[in-house]
Amino acid sequence: MRLVLMGPPGAGKGTQAVGIAAALGIPHISTGDIFRANVSQGTALGIEAKRYMDAGEYVPDGVTNAMVRDRISHDDARPGFLLDGYPRTIEQVAELDSMLASDGYKLTKALELTVNVDEVVSRLVRRAAEQGRADDNENVIRRRLEVYFAQTAPLTALYAQRGILQQIDGMGTVDEVGLRIMAALA
């Protein structure tokens, strides 16, 4: 299973990805988590990424693509993986295709969590209060959503054309959404 999980910031991708990856026995690869780990360790990648993340902008494709290429080449990703938060641009879609094709693979499915935008904003504001993520303040949240709807949401059409897009209603409890995802993968 080579899966991507898409959906706007606050759709619950991270939460659901942990459960899906565990159920399928594949690694959960979150570009946002990898960037945040680099930021907290103060690596060169983290210092570069932080400037963009704090503004709600995407990290440049060159940086992100190289990081994903490296990560999916690890042994644990050989049986498959669940990408969370990647691809987000058309260049990333193309790059992922070529990473997979060079090993003779294709994406199995693209899962898109659909949510109500007002609900997403209130989830993110709540998360800001609970976890204090640097990019969870209201202006940056709005910018992240804007960037998502302008640059990433349209990419789902590419996966729909290939017949691998599966849209899942992301509203409801964590368990309800998780069951819908597992049903979509069955």
| Binding residues vs ligand ADP (CB under 6 A) | 9-10, 31-32, 35, 52-53, 56-59, 64, 85-86, 88, 92, 135, 144
Would you call 144 a catalytic residue per the annotation?
yes
Neighbours of 173 (CB within 10 A): 8
- Where helices occur in the chain by DSSP H, the ranges are 13-24, 31-41, 44-53, 61-72, 90-101, 117-131, 138-147, 156-162, 174-185
Closest approach, Cβ 178 to ligand ADP, in A, equals 18
Q: CB 24 → ligand ADP: shortest distance, Å?
A: 20
Q: Residue 110 corresponds to which tokens in the numbers above? A: 């693209």
Choice between 67 and 104, CB closer to ligand ADP: 67
Residue closer to ligand ADP (CB basis): 10 or 178: 10
CB of 8 to ligand ADP, least distance (A): 7
Distance, in Å, from the CA atom of 112 to the CA atom of 125, rounded to the nearest integer, reads 22
Q: Closest CB to ligand ADP among 85 and 178?
A: 85
Distance between CA atoms of 19 and 113, rounded to whole angstroms? 14
Q: Which residues contact 138 (CB under 8 A, 6 or more apart)?
A: 125, 128
Annotated active-site residue 142? The verdict is no
Tell me, yes or no, if 162 is annotated catalytic: no
Which of 69, 109, 123, 133 is an active site residue? 133
CB 125 within 8 A of CB 141: yes
For the question of residue 127 being annotated catalytic, the response is yes
Could you say which of 69, 71, 123, 127 is catalytic?
127
Spatial neighbors of 77 by CB under 8 A, at least 6 apart, are: 26, 27, 29, 71
Q: Which of 2, 36, 50, 88 is catalytic?
A: 88
Among this protein's residues, is 123 annotated catalytic? no
Handedness of CA 38, 39, 42, 48 (dihedral sign): positive
Cβ-based nearer residue to ligand ADP, 45 or 165: 45
CB of 158 to ligand ADP, least distance (A): 15
User: Among the options 13, 36, 50, 180, which is catalytic?
Assistant: 13
Q: What residues are labeled active site?
A: 13, 88, 127, 133, 144
